Structure 1
């Protein structure tokens, strides 16, 4: 028997893994604790357990255990070599104390002796109690830092034995095994070895157990947190069954578990290849909820959720999903940039969007605070301020206060660095604060910051709610002001933001009221303006001057997301302030501003764009010129700038005339896109030409024969059918003005019918959901055939009209069946159409009509007799 005398307690000071989660102090020690002895052990045949007892210098049978700590876990993550986020180094980064110097010296009695013994005790030939004691001792020892982990990793089989213990039925063994893997994976050198041992697969199975304790879950997820730092392992983790478990853990009550899950997801988001599978799993909604939740002690969780969402938001489509969750990407420009902010000193306050507050009381308020505490003097019964306005006021006050005290962009008690380090950084803010912050940045002096803020406004303006919020926050007046900035990048970003905001009809009116037409016209007049700025400016100007906007406003001029116009309130005489109006209530003085568009120099610039620009710019220039034709009936200014040459250039698109190009065969997708853009430009220019032809003076000044030839070639080209309607209208109008008779012998009328009317009617038969529309189309088609137009039947067959005709015979109305049979009979006269008619299933349909003796059975019989049946 072993001696039972008490042994002195050995002392092992340990290193603190990190500053955040450290052991209580460096006096934490390892103590030899008595363990129940085995019964009747023979010394002649010593077991590993007895070897372990002798290793304690022949004292009583002991096992090393760590005295209880104040924390049940220690984070020992490391940063990856490639800069992966979400981890800290396992070795202390602070200055070394004498105790630490002593720790770093290897302990021969423990490191060289006991580690090897404990690793041996992990073997499958030991009972569960020995293995549990060994894994717990190794886990606690690994918390001492990198040198302790290196001592364990001198035995290569340790990892495999540890991974095997993840299957143990003992929660203590599972926790210790996962904790040891967590410590080992915190070192860059061993991370891949942990993954190769099958740890990811075993942890996946472990986390799938419903009865798993929170301690085991935390250690397992923190191991994945360390492993996900490696870019090669991220794909493996994201493609496993772990992802749904991680997302589910974001709803767990344990904050440590939430932090670990958020950290893994943040690391997975660093690899773009994982984005699609993460978004499809619903990670954006969960992370947004975690970021905006007001949880105590959730700073790490919010940081990891923000990092993950920012990585996902780098994709244009996923950024929209993030914004839809109520979060807006805001550029980090550095705290020093806000020093230039100069808040306005108002003699009387106003709302951010320009709403004025009128003072009605003759004397000051009772408390002398009317100018500051405006809300004290508003009668809620008479004045109704929308929620969006109230949030804009609160958010503006909040952001301005932070800017004044220099508290913006302060993290962990330190100001964020300015300059190149923050040049491309973003953060995520709730839309209320995000909108106000972006508007505040527009008031600064830093050109780079202003440009990035305007770009963020453009990206965030994805729906009516956000666009109205920017309007209420006062973004429009600052953006319009920036159109006159001397920096091209600032002007481009501001124009892009206004273009996105102008999608809203209501906001577009406010933009025009701010006087945007004049700076847009000046920008387009400038010959050195970049093509991208010309495109944005033209698009914005065309949207403001859209001739159909007045009709649209009759239907869409109502409230937008509850944004009703403020009405004047009847105030009590004691009240010192009332709301007198909103910018949306102000009459928009369009007349004087829109006269700038009628300037001859500006029109000449638009014609020059028609001659020398891309189809996209040609389309927008044609749209603005259409507004000129409506507002200048005399056409003097347009005729004087040679509009004819501009239109001719649009009608001669390179993609339609370049027959030798191999783009159609080698790059069919690119070819389709180019034809689509050309078709848009041609359609808009044809509509402009049609309206210009209303002026006899214009018709007499152009070469109508040349335009007729150009339009006829377009009508026969590969331009999509829905872009040929205005081309056909222009041809018909040119023909009528040329005193040509519109009969079947007229070549123009015939070509319009063959290349526009017949394809359009067949398309309606194929795609329309209305039986009446289909019947009208087929009857019109039958009328064209009855007139005996040359090649009309061939045009129907080439456009794929046989199949919809047979379909109408089967389920159309009586009139549609009659017309369809008439067309099929004419088509059957050409033997080349027989195979297509039979393939469309006409024979069974015709036989049913004959057998049922429907009113159309004689004609159906005639068609059957012409077919080879």
Structure 2
């Protein structure tokens, strides 16, 4: 007897005068067994008074839930799923004092392991239903030690009724904060896990068990135990259960588990995001409880940047809750001709206005394919805008069933999750309000959500670009920073970037950079946007003909109006450049150029690269370069070519922090490459060539060429160095050394890289070029080939390459074999078997192969 030693001796009245309020579960089918003596006496009296009993069997679970928060010590929790039944709980509570303490003790004793399973089942059902009377009833049950242990043991019963009643009693007890730890310590979580893993289980048992876990997961210390590999798949699978109550309980447990950041990785790996996201889709039916719990769980997961991306990819976007007062400033356009959200006006097909405005009201019902071609993205944007405007007009934009949302978090931290269509439209709507905090939060959300081309195009079609560009001139620093951040993320898309340019974004961005008091963060994001718009590497045709620039009518439409047989000539391109120069000439003035040069001199490499790229664009639209040359551009270039990362050769950062060192070298290399492109472009100006200190820059570039800058960044350095050497004149001593260094440190490594990884045609061209360089007798060229690891790819090439490639490769290897230090590397690369095959097969190159074999020590 597990509980016999812990429960005092019981003397009970055989007449049971107040038993008529006790709730028992009786069945119509008798069960054959031999009852214990005490139970037999009780049953005799119970049967004689059954006419006064009240029978019911509640199968209800979480009806109304509130977000759980652990740590309350005030008795009953305000954050747990509550049970309800058809019985009047007040009646049970009022009669509990007259129920008779001895009968509660009796039922606790009947939970003992030495009692018949049917007695134990009826006892736990009686205690469960008695516990529905409230905290006082639960407190009285908990006076008897061992009750929870015995109830937990009943979860192993083969009877579904016993398991349901045991789980229901544990659910009632765990709803009280002070008893929650005791329930967990008695092994309830482990037993419920085992119960839920049974192959066949009724919905009632599932619901009561999961609601118990829902209560226990309120406390942080129990969440890690619940979030294990055995039970998580069951909870996630229950989100698709046919029983809505089971779905609600599973969602509640998952929402509580998501409150602990340590569980986030476990939940995501178990696949919880797609299942929860599906419950929030507009076309999926579900109760308010499950939708609320799913939203709460996903909002917690969305606090992590990576998991937020996964949620967005599932079709949901986080949207800030800005409060109903913020929407009071919204003024919809009521009596205007309809237009698409991005500002595109719909063509008027009627000659005159309708008498009653029917044309405007029913515009979308009579659109022929000849007059309009609205794609799916535009239609979704129109639907989303209509929905959100309607919610604002009726005052239900952030309300549910007319009730304003209640939350423990302040309004500036509240979020909700909406489907793409509604979420994007809501954020664009907020951009048009007057509340500064609301605008800033919406712009930051747009920046966070713009994770891929699909999302960026959604915001473009929804008309966000126009609002964001206008907000760049806002008086609030927070709004300007958030807006710039949003535009920076959106500008990754070339199509969106072109729309920004058409909306006139360049002027406010340039004005922002002219301000010396802006923060470094704002300056960096502004340079990012400008660098993508004023990109000198864009093809000339796409730059000036893909879209209208600055509101002009020039574009593909204009080009298509010409005779299709006429190709775009240099004159047309020059006209386009002239128009852009006129447009930007007043903005990209000496003040702005001076600011860019100042950034090149004082900022870190990433900003130096962006500033140099923008200045290179200015050299394209202003070929005279007078303004740049007069602004002391040499000092900016000098700062770019003297990167600190290349000078710190004596520090231990490469060994101690290799990742940081590699990142520093990468950023410095990008800045140097941009500076070399700019200098190469400036050397086209005779005026600049007359003023530049070519000797100084030749020394800087030669040093960079010999450094550990990645090879693919040295091409512009080599080109600039060659151009400088040509301008330096015949009296300079740098001409021959420069040619040799460019060959050793740029040309040979580049050709070897092509031999290693390029296509067969490129490999053939590279090995022929390399053979030409070596045959010309460039000093140390063979040593450069060996030190760059060229022997192994050359041996592989003579086995697989074309006849011309094999012949050139054999010539290079022969020259390398003249140095005995290379013999071991040539043999290790497998050259001997390859050469013998060439000789024995008497291929056209067999004589060269034989001479090479004779040079090797074999």
Q: Give the TM-score normalised by the residue count of structure 2.
A: 0.86
**C-alpha distance after superposition, 1:602-645 (max 9, x if no partner):** 11111111111111111111111111111111111111101111
Say yes or no: does 1:239 pair with 2:228: yes
Residue of 739, 761, 783 corresponding to 1:749: 739
**Alignment check: 8 A CA contact 2:61 2:82 kept:** no
Residue of 381, 385, 389 corresponding to 2:378: 389
Q: How does 1:685-696 map to 2 (within 5 A)?
A: 685-696=675-686
Say yes or no: does 1:614 pair with 2:604: yes
Say yes or no: does 1:764 pair with 2:754: yes
Q: How far apart are the structure 1 equivalents of 2:473 and 2:544?
A: 34
Q: How does 1:264-663 map to 2 (within 5 A)?
A: 264-292=253-281, 294=283, 298-344=287-333, 346-357=335-346, 363-375=352-364, 378-379=367-368, 382-411=371-400, 413-416=402-405, 421-551=410-540, 553=542, 590=580, 592-663=582-653
Q: 1:30 to 1:59 in 2, by over 3 A?
A: closer
Residue of 194, 200, 204 corresponding to 1:211: 200
**Alignment check: 8 A CA contact 2:155 2:192 kept:** yes
**Alignment check: 8 A CA contact 2:80 2:215 kept:** no
Show the counterpart of 2:790.
801
Say yes or no: does 1:718 pair with 2:708: yes
Q: CA deviation at 1:517?
A: 1.4
Q: 1:70 to 1:237 in 2, by over 3 A?
A: closer
What secondary structure sits across from 2:413 in the alignment?
Answer: coil
**Alignment check: 8 A CA contact 2:317 2:420 kept:** yes
**Alignment check: 8 A CA contact 2:62 2:82 kept:** no
**C-alpha distance after superposition, 1:325-355 (max 9, x if no partner):** 2212111111111112223454434332222
Show the counterpart of 1:727.
717
Q: CA deviation at 1:482?
A: 0.7
What secondary structure sits across from 1:691 in the alignment?
Answer: helix
Q: How far apart are the structure 2 equivalents of 1:156 and 1:7?
A: 25
Q: CA deviation at 1:781?
A: 2.3
Q: CA deviation at 1:220?
A: 2.2
What secondary structure sits across from 1:428 in the alignment?
Answer: strand
Q: 1:735 to 1:205 in 2, by over 3 A?
A: same
Q: How far apart are the structure 1 equivalents of 2:33 and 2:280?
A: 61
Q: CA deviation at 1:549?
A: 3.1
Residue of 37, 47, 71 corresponding to 1:50: 37
Q: How does 1:11-30 map to 2 (within 5 A)?
A: 11-12=20-21, 30=23
Say yes or no: does 1:670 pair with 2:660: yes
Show the counterpart of 1:572.
none
* Segment drifting more, 359-368 vs 522-531: 359-368
**Alignment check: 8 A CA contact 1:66 1:137 kept:** no
**Alignment check: 8 A CA contact 2:823 2:857 kept:** yes
Q: How far apart are the structure 2 equivalents of 1:454 and 1:89?
A: 34
Q: 1:100 to 1:678 in 2, by over 3 A?
A: same
Q: How does 1:123-162 map to 2 (within 5 A)?
A: 123-162=112-151
Q: How far apart are the structure 2 equivalents of 1:836 and 1:148?
A: 88
**Alignment check: 8 A CA contact 1:225 1:264 kept:** yes
Q: CA deviation at 1:451?
A: 0.7
Q: 1:214 to 1:703 in 2, by over 3 A?
A: same
Ranges in structure 1 where 5+ consecutive residues have no aligned partner:
13-28, 42-46, 559-564, 568-587
Say yes or no: does 1:67 pair with 2:55: yes
Q: How does 1:700-711 map to 2 (within 5 A)?
A: 700-711=690-701
Show the counterpart of 2:568.
none
**Alignment check: 8 A CA contact 1:505 1:553 kept:** no
**C-alpha distance after superposition, 1:62-107 (max 9, x if no partner):** 99997225654466988342599xx84469999xxx9959938974
Q: How far apart are the structure 2 equivalents of 1:479 and 1:252?
A: 44
Q: How does 1:802-841 map to 2 (within 5 A)?
A: 802-841=791-830
Q: 1:124 to 1:654 in 2, by over 3 A?
A: same
Q: 1:699 to 1:230 in 2, by over 3 A?
A: same
Q: CA deviation at 1:863?
A: 4.1
**Alignment check: 8 A CA contact 1:234 1:268 kept:** yes
Show the counterpart of 1:230.
219
**C-alpha distance after superposition, 1:206-234 (max 9, x if no partner):** 33333222112222222222232232333
Q: How far apart are the structure 2 equivalents of 1:589 and 1:333?
A: 43
What secondary structure sits across from 1:122 in the alignment?
Answer: coil
What secondary structure sits across from 2:392 in the alignment?
Answer: helix
Q: How far apart are the structure 1 equivalents of 2:798 and 2:723?
A: 36
**Alignment check: 8 A CA contact 1:334 1:419 kept:** no
Q: 1:227 to 1:552 in 2, by over 3 A?
A: farther
**Alignment check: 8 A CA contact 2:330 2:432 kept:** yes
Q: 1:555 to 1:383 in 2, by over 3 A?
A: same
What secondary structure sits across from 2:516 in the alignment?
Answer: coil
Q: How far apart are the structure 2 equivalents of 1:742 and 1:777?
A: 31
What secondary structure sits across from 2:718 in the alignment?
Answer: helix
**Alignment check: 8 A CA contact 2:581 2:621 kept:** no
Q: 1:73 to 1:352 in 2, by over 3 A?
A: closer
Q: Give the TM-score normalised by the residue count of structure 1.
A: 0.85
Q: 1:125 to 1:386 in 2, by over 3 A?
A: same
* Segment drifting more, 496-505 vs 600-609: 496-505
RMSD of aligned alpha carbons:
3.7
Q: 1:194 to 1:862 in 2, by over 3 A?
A: farther
Q: CA deviation at 1:674?
A: 1.1
**C-alpha distance after superposition, 1:440-499 (max 9, x if no partner):** 111111111101111111222233333233223221221111111111111111112122
**Alignment check: 8 A CA contact 1:52 1:117 kept:** no
Q: How many residues align?
A: 812
What secondary structure sits across from 1:328 in the alignment?
Answer: strand
Q: How far apart are the structure 1 equivalents of 2:196 and 2:178?
A: 26
What secondary structure sits across from 2:318 in the alignment?
Answer: strand
Q: How far apart are the structure 1 equivalents of 2:652 and 2:587?
A: 41
Q: How far apart are the structure 2 equivalents of 1:781 and 1:837?
A: 17
Q: How far apart are the structure 2 equivalents of 1:31 and 1:104?
A: 18
Q: How far apart are the structure 2 equivalents of 1:247 and 1:103?
A: 37
Residue of 765, 773, 785 corresponding to 2:762: 773
**Alignment check: 8 A CA contact 2:279 2:294 kept:** yes
**C-alpha distance after superposition, 1:425-454 (max 9, x if no partner):** 111111111111111111111111101111
Show the counterpart of 1:22.
none
**Alignment check: 8 A CA contact 2:431 2:439 kept:** yes
* Segment drifting more, 542-551 vs 597-606: 542-551
Q: 1:718 to 1:330 in 2, by over 3 A?
A: same
